[in-house]
Amino acid sequence: MDIEFWWLLALPLFFALGWLAARIDIRQVVQESRALPRSYLNGLNFLLNEQPDKAIDAFVEAVRIDPQTVELHFALGSLFRRRGETDRAIRIHQLLVDREDLDEEQRLQALGELGQDFLKAGLLDRAEAVFLKLRDTRANDVAQQYLLEIYQQEKDWAKAIEIARALPNHESVMWRREVANFHCELAANALANSRFEEVRSHLDDALAVNRRSVRASLLLGDLDVAEGRDEAALEAWKRIETQDPVYLALVAERVMEAYGRLGRQEQGHQLLRAWLENHASLDLLDELFRWELEKHGPKTAYELVREELKRNPTLLGLDKLLEAALLTAPSEQRSDIELIKQLIHGHTRKVARYRCDACGFKARQFHWRCPACGGWETYPPRRTEEFDLTP
């Protein structure tokens, strides 16, 4: 293949240009490394030697000397917050907030990080003050999310409602459920203090936000009972079947007591039997079992549980069956039944808990708001064993 003569002359030129570019890059790197504050390099050295306290002091000094290290401190502060070292994170972010030469974007970011530090440390009043400063800025949406979390922790439900309504997606199904629960919290507090007109007002607001609010219907029934109107209370509780039948177990005892005061216990018994037939529930079964045991004796209670076990076999149901069998068995068989019941009961303790649909947190007590993830109505009144039975 023929090679043009000028190519031979160009090759050394290309090599020379490449060498010159490399030298320029190396000089630039050396100059930039020399320009870094010595305290910055000391800080890195302290980190490598697992001396975080001295590293923070060195990095704080580096920030004073060279504002170009600001991004490093944002990362370092976030790292300390994730590790639970909130006092160190606060020191770093407070220093950034106090600087006068930060641009507006960096200042907002520093304030947001500082607010998160205070929130993680449990300093809710200081976190609230920071996020209030961020309202009506470019960080407004994020600030409102954190303010909503703060007001829920403080149980300041009126402020939580105000913030939730100002969120961009406040019309979504999720936020309607949240805001309805905030109104229900206010109603429950008013009911505990016998402020009945206030209770009804809050419940009307809850149902206006979310017509399917089971909690509002439950509290409305409680209000009617407090005002001596059992018939109205029963109507409120019956609506729960159309809202979400999973929650019927929460009102089963209330329903039986209301029918008892009206002198129509058998009607209440039939209603609960119909609910259990259409919506299998271990808590409903438990309420009916106790009623049958008290009114008709252990034999009838045994028959009730046995029929339900045929439809929905569960360990918790078997435990109830053995409880009834123990009361009806001859004395010579009771020790054997008691032994079997004890063995079964050891296993039922593991499957008798409630579980959050969102995070999987388990507890023996029902909660409207999950204690772990903070989700509202993510903690249905169904035992762990029932999740495996649900189609």
Mean pLDDT of 249-257: 92
When pLDDT is averaged across residues 120-124 and rounded to a whole number, the result is 90
**Segment (H or E) for 355:** strand 354-355
19: tokens are: 């060498």
Average pLDDT, the chain: 79
Residue 6 in tokens: 């000028």
- Round to whole Å and give the CA distance between 348 and 355: 15
* Tens of pLDDT, residues 343-378: 766 666 666 677 888 888 888 888 888 888 888 988
Average pLDDT for residues 114-127, to the nearest whole number? 91
pLDDT for 35: 46
Q: What is the pLDDT of residue 201?
A: 96
Query: Does the annotation place 356 within a ligand binding site?
Result: yes
Residue 389 pLDDT > 50, yes or no? Answer: no
What confidence score (pLDDT) does residue 224 get? Answer: 96
- Closest-CA residue to 152 (of 170, 128, 134): 128
370 annotated ligand-binding residue: yes
pLDDT at 175: 80
Which residue, among 259, 211, 212, has the nearest Cα to 235 in the 3D structure? 259
More confident residue, 60 or 247: 247
- Identify the helix (H) or strand (E) that includes residue 354: strand 354-355
Q: What is the dihedral of CA 246, 247, 250, 252, to 10 degrees?
A: -70
Which amino acid appears at position 242 of this protein? Answer: T
Please tell me the distance from the alpha carbon of residue 164 to that of residue 147, in angstroms, as a whole number. Answer: 9
Residue-wise pLDDT for 77-116, tens only, equals 777 788 788 888 888 888 888 877 778 888 888 899 889 9
**For residues 28 and 230, what is the distance between their CA atoms, to the nearest angstrom?**
84
Taking only the tens place, the pLDDT of each residue in 164-206 is 888 876 566 568 899 999 999 999 999 999 999 999 999 999 9
Highest mean pLDDT among 80-89, 130-139, 203-212 belongs to 203-212
Q: Where in the chain is the domain with CATH 1.25.40.10?
A: 33-154
Cα–Cα distance measured from residue 182 to residue 208, given in angstroms and rounded to the nearest whole number: 13
Residue 288 has pLDDT above 50, yes or no: yes
CATH H-level superfamily of 33-154: Tetratricopeptide repeat domain (1.25.40.10)
User: Which residue matches tokens 């995070």?
Assistant: 359
Residue 6 predicted with pLDDT over 50:
no
Of all residues in the chain, the percent with pLDDT exceeding 90 is 32
Q: What is the pLDDT of residue 358?
A: 86
State yes or no: pLDDT of 33 exceeds 60: no
Contact 195, 209 (CB under 8 A): no
Q: What is the pTM of this model?
A: 0.74
**Whole-number Cα distances in Å, 19 to 10, 14, 29, 270:** 14, 9, 16, 94
How many residues are listed for the chain in this entry?
391
User: Can you tell me whether residue 194 is helix, strand or coil?
Assistant: coil
Rounded Cα gap, residues 374 and 174, in angstroms: 13
In contact, 218 and 250? CB cutoff 8 Å: yes
